């Protein structure tokens, strides 16, 4: 299943439309290209709905939001749902400011994303209207966020993917865990956002958002494990991570995967 | 001629003003610095015309366009033409959406760029009002776009540079081909946009847009050939490509160049 | 003192809020993560004042400014000063256009930044209302800018940090010099902007802006010296620079530091 998704992405090169934050546009486009997907970025209200028509998944990432971008995210999201393609929301920094939290809630309500992919703080902010996000990094241990993920999934119907030392993927009453990854992933900017776009690429080829989210986190974690020993710090790790995403073999992926499905 | 351009860029460090897409700003600034040019980015309507006054070439790239940016591109483009400095248009994703295609046509009409640098799909969209762009990557083999390039060049008077497995540069009835390059160039984001800014750097030092465009594609292709064997994937390739652009020697460049001029 | 600051940043992971230019957002976020700080980017007027409330330093960088962003910079800057956290201004390209120079002066007047970090051309433009910036790179030798830095510091009360072959830090009548660094730092985009965000990270943990600025320039210069011999050009240098910022040891830093304090 996992490897099947990887080969389908490589063979089909699904177009993934991202409306995302400035910081990670380059990083996430390169991650999508590395796994074999075809990234496109467009944010003007004049074209987002039409651009979504060319894509097989849509990413909405609120990392550097502003009102005009929010309107475009909503329009693209609604167009994507009408076409039946998956929408992955990354609520970057939800809980950090009232505006950011409100926008995330508005996207949840108006777009009804297929998958929400965030860290523990962000998921708790959406589930419990808590604050306490520390910048864009998590301050809650992942497991403490499992309850929040369950609340959010059951209220909205979406799959919730929580990244952390152990990644937890929740859909309704089902829970998967991914125990792959390395500390260096937290020392480069955009590794969470990379998880989000990979989730979209997997959702483009796998009809189960729950499995797509779990597979994406496994691939990213394994790629990190392959890249870390070749790296002498976060700079070389970034380059080696892209190499690993592009070159990972079936044996490497299946041999290292620590994916616990229900 | 080719090496002469390279040394002039290294010696003169021409300022290249780019109004470009968010995804590749960092990548293309680094590519310009690697070859010895001096990149500047500015997009506010309040300053673009004045900033163009400091530059020796202007890049207009519509990869993440929006109305305010389009107005700035038009103002900067007109100011550049009044000053007599070359303007290179990269019609990223032309054909993908009606808005994007319309903006590319508007820049063609109002600015009359010196050079249009795109992939086959984009050039066909501009020449024949065809659609069918697949994201921002090409769906047409380059050679199938030669006719389109000729139509576009003869209608507008600009040089047309079409990137692909074989790059084709067209000016009126003249055609050049560049058979350099490696597949990894298609696995990193912004390699097309890098071709565009290098084209601008060469146009800053070479009065023939046709030769400037051909030389830029040759340098990029050769740099890719030098970088690929040192790389284990797209991540390390990115770094090695910049190293090769900065360090390529006359022997390496002239020994590898597969440039067919008329 | 220098090493003490480094360990405090690594231990305390201060949140640094940047409102900066598109070109360097990724680069500077990665530099902050490499030294152990926690970057956050937010520019919407709806949230900047609240986001500043989570941060221990604020960076204002005018490299790709536009009116809405300027308003956000002013609002964030005023909020930061009310809270008593340091504000570091990077007047990228001041002197290049009238708009850019005017915005830099407006931020100086309305925010009263703690530290201004620029190259010689930019500092001269702010001190003497000179023009002559060449793109965003410096055209004045650093030492020729020392007078300008003194004028600017004494007029505004801020610390002035001028990067160049020799970095000069000025506060009132005090002057420090840093003789670290390598030419490759000028061959990658955003090394000045990286100096700025590192200055903010040091200012977050060191109550003396003068010492914070001097320590930041020393760390960056030493990291460049460690990275350069491992690099074959500007691409690999970028990666190795991040590795060096993350991994530099006390012996390496203190052994190489060429910091002349008054």
B131, pLDDT greater than 50: no
B106 CB near a chain A CB, below 8 Å? no
Instruction: Give me the sheet containing B167-171, strands edge to edge.
Output: B38-41, B15-19, B57-61, B87-90, B115-119, B159-163, B167-171, B174-178, B259-260
Give the residue-averaged pLDDT of B81-88: 98
- The structure tokens 């003194």 sit at C150
Number of separate domains in chain C: 1
Tens of pLDDT, residues B10-64: 999 999 999 999 999 999 999 999 999 999 999 999 999 999 999 999 999 999 9
Of residues C66 and B129, more confidently modeled: C66
pLDDT at C143: 65
Confidence of residue A94 (pLDDT cuts 50, 70, 90): very high
B42 CB near a chain C CB, below 8 Å? yes
Percent of chain A with pLDDT over 70: 94
C128 CB near a chain B CB, below 8 Å? no
pLDDT at C46: 97
B246 CB near a chain C CB, below 8 Å? yes
Candidates C26, C43, C61, C97: best to mutate against B (most CBs of B within 10 A) is C97
pLDDT at B255: 98
Chain A hits for C42, Cβ within 8 Å: 64, 93, 96-97, 100
A22 CB near a chain C CB, below 8 Å? yes
- Chains near B with 3+ CB pairs less than 8 A apart are A, C
B150, pLDDT greater than 80: yes
Percent of chain B with pLDDT over 70: 94
Q: Which two tokens stand for residue C78?
A: 């005023």
Query: Is A97 in contact with C47 (Cβ distance < 8 A)?
Result: yes
Per-residue pLDDT of chain C in tens (262 residues, 90 and over written 9): 899 999 999 999 999 999 999 999 999 999 999 999 999 999 999 999 999 999 999 999 999 999 999 999 999 999 999 999 999 999 999 999 999 999 999 999 999 999 999 999 999 999 986 544 444 555 556 667 899 999 999 999 999 999 999 999 999 999 999 999 999 999 999 999 999 999 999 999 999 999 999 999 999 999 999 999 999 999 999 999 999 999 999 999 999 999 999 9
Residue-number span of the structural domain to which A147 is assigned: 2-260
Cα Rg for chain C, rounded, in angstroms?
A: 16
pLDDT at C131: 47
Query: Is C93 in contact with B42 (Cβ distance < 8 A)?
Result: yes
Tens of pLDDT, residues A6-41: 999 999 999 999 999 999 999 999 999 999 999 999
Query: Is A27 in contact with C26 (Cβ distance < 8 A)?
Result: yes
Kind and range of the H or E run holding C104: helix C98-111
pLDDT at C228: 98
Quote the CA–CA distance of B9 and B16 in Å, as a whole number: 11
B194 CB near a chain C CB, below 8 Å? no
Q: Which two tokens stand for residue B214?
A: 């051909």
Taking all residues of chain B, what is their mean pLDDT, rounded to a whole number? 94
B46 CB near a chain C CB, below 8 Å? yes
Of residues A131 and A243, more confidently modeled: A243
**DSSP character string of chain B:** -HHHHHHHHHHH--EEEEE--GGGHHHHHHHHHHHT-EEEE---TTTHHHHHTT-SEEEEE-TT--HHHHHHHHHHHHHHHHHT--EEEE-TTBTTBHHHHHHHHHHHHHH--SEEEEEHHHHHHHHH-----BTTB--S-GGGGHHHHHHHHHHH--EEEEESSSEEEEETTEEEEE----GGGGGSTTHHHHHHHHHHHHHHH-S-HHHHHHHHHHHHHHHHHHHGGG-SSHHHHHHHHHHHHHH--HHHHHHH--EE--
pLDDT at B241: 98
Of A23, A187, A234, the CB nearest to C41: A23
Read off the CATH number of the domain in which B189 is found: 3.40.1190.20
B1, pLDDT greater than 90: no
Query: Is B244 in contact with C231 (Cβ distance < 8 A)?
Result: no
Cβ distance C93 to C133 under 8 Å?
yes
Query: Is C64 in contact with B43 (Cβ distance < 8 A)?
Result: yes
Percent of chain C with pLDDT over 70: 94
Chain B: closest CA distance from residue A43 (Å) = 7
Of A26, A39, A44, the CB nearest to B65: A44
pLDDT at A145: 84
Nearest CA in chain C to B35: C187
Chain B hits for C99, Cβ within 8 Å: 44, 46-47, 50
Query: Is C235 in contact with B247 (Cβ distance < 8 A)?
Result: no
Give the residue-averaged pLDDT of B229-235: 98
C43 CB near a chain A CB, below 8 Å? yes
pLDDT at A142: 61
A126, pLDDT greater than 60: yes
Query: Is B54 in contact with C135 (Cβ distance < 8 A)?
Result: yes
Between the CA of residue C225 and those of B128, C151, C220, C231, C253, what are the distances in Å?
54, 31, 9, 10, 10
């Amino acid at each position: 299943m996992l490897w099947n998704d990887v080969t389908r992405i490589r063979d089909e090169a699904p177009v993934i439309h991202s409306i995302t934050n400035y910081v990670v546009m380059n990083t996430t486009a390169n991650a999508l290209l590395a796994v074999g997907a075809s990234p496109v970025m467009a944010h003007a209200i004049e074209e987002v709905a039409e651009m979504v028509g060319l894509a097989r998944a849509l990413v909405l990432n609120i990392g550097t939001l502003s009102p005009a971008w929010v309107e475009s995210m909503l329009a693209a999201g609604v167009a994507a749902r009408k076409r039946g393609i998956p929408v992955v929301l990354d609520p970057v920094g939800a809980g950090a400011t009232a505006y950011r939290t409100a926008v995330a809630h508005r996207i949840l309500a108006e777009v009804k994303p297929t998958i929400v992919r965030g860290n523990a703080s962000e998921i708790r902010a959406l589930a419990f209207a808590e604050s306490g996000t520390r910048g864009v990094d998590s301050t809650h241990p992942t497991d403490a966020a499992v309850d929040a993920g369950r609340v959010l999934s059951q209220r909205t119907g979406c799959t919730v993917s929580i990244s952390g030392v152990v990644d937890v993927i929740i859909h309704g009453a089902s829970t998967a865990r991914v125990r792959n990854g390395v500390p260096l992933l937290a020392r480069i900017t955009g590794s969470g956002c990379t998880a989000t776009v990979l989730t979209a690429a997997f959702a483009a080829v796998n009809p189960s958002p729950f499995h797509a989210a779990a597979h994406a986190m496994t691939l990213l974690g394994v790629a990190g494990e392959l890249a870390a020993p070749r790296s002498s710090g976060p700079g070389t790790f970034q380059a080696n991570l892209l190499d690993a995403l592009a070159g990972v073999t079936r044996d490497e992926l299946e041999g290292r995967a620590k994916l616990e499905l229900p």
